[in-house]
Amino acid sequence: MSEARGHTYTPVELLARLVAFDTTSHKNNLGLIAFVEEYLRGHGVASHRIVSEDGQKASLYATIGPADEGGIALSGHTDVVPVDGQDWTSDPFTLRAENGRLYGRGSADMKGFLAASLAAVPDFKKRKLKKPIHLAFSYDEEVGCIGVRPMIAELGKALPKPRMVIVGEPTSMQVVDAHKGPVRWNVNVKGRAAHSSMAHLGVNAVTYATRLIGELERMEAELKHRVIDVRFEPPYSTLQVTKIDGGTATNIVPVHCSFVFDIRALPGLRADEIEDRLRRFAEMHCLPEMHAIAPEAGIDIERVNAVPPFGAEPSSEVVALALKLTGQNETFGVSYGTEAALFQNAGAPSVVCGPGDIAQAHTADEWIAESEVANCMVFLDRLGAWAET
């Protein structure tokens, strides 16, 4: 780690170091966190770890400039999605430069932003900052924005609370002030097993699961016409059953069936509406018949993760700042989720703006254009000048 101490890296060099850490969500990220800690320490910046309950992962929070609340946080996640089953033409964890592109897992989503933010630290340190610039690096964003939540819980307590937050997800440096919110449920149906020749003695869990899925399909159709927002693609909230499993043998009435469904909700749609309607359907159209044969039968609907939809206020200070720093006059909405709403709901108004194209995220041979990293450095230079005022 000593090589990181006091060393000034280019953003591409830092990206190469960050990509080299395999921080796939089911693995730990402590090696990367230790590298960043040492790098920051070498530039006179103290940082604070927020460690996961099992001690295998950590978020990192650091402040440059006045050691108080206010200012702006640069937020990004350190985890990446798996490369399993993807056909890469080079080692995913070795950054490869070719024709103006930087290839590697996480290069676009979103270690490019982390690298640029870290590369800007020496410049931030040289400036006479009147407003603090915070770094907020999290874990397990890819599996439900898990790691950022304990960090957010410490803002205003153990950690200084920023006045606003820039989440650097890949937007091609466009200013995003709204996104959909992914919410996921597990549904488990328990019936009663019986020989298939005596089906009337059993309760077919697969049958009742399909009834529930039918109701979800009706809700899906309604969502396509309920609220239309052309800023998003598609312009409505989506609902999909994404996984199903049930039955044990062809001559046994299935006793168990489970499925997973999720929504990508437009700002304004409450996940409770979807869940409450499915529960009412189960209670009215499934459970009475099931219990008439098998009192032990049941339907369990569990919300396993929720990332709230994000919509900045029309008069948002951070949106106006991001437009000024990018030299743009238009904002956009996106269909993927980020940590922005979690920060905003905790009292730190947010915006999404970062280098890279979301179309490259999660793909084989993921890449970010070198020009995108350079554009982000210009953005951060302007941010540093703003923080001096």
Hey, which residues are catalytic here? 79, 141
| Whether 341 contacts 77, CB under 8 Å | no
| Helical pair 30-42 and 11-19, crossing angle rounded to 10 deg | 150
Q: Nearest Cα to 283, choosing from 216, 204, 212? A: 212
Residue ranges of alpha helices (H) inside the chain are 11-19, 30-42, 112-119, 121-126, 148-153, 205-226, 271-285, 287-293, 317-326, 340-345, 370-387
Running DSSP on this structure, what letter comes out for residue 296? T
Q: Amino acid identity, residue 283?
A: E
Q: Nearest Cα to 114, choosing from 167, 172, 180? A: 167
Concatenate the DSSP letters of all residues of 236-290 into one string: S-EEEEEEEEE-S-TTB--SEEEEEEEEEEPTT--HHHHHHHHHHHHHHHTHHHH
3-state secondary structure of 160: coil
305 by Cβ neighbours in 10 Å (0-12 / 13-18 / 19+) ranks as middle
3-state secondary structure of 165: strand
Distance CA 311, CA 298 (A): 38
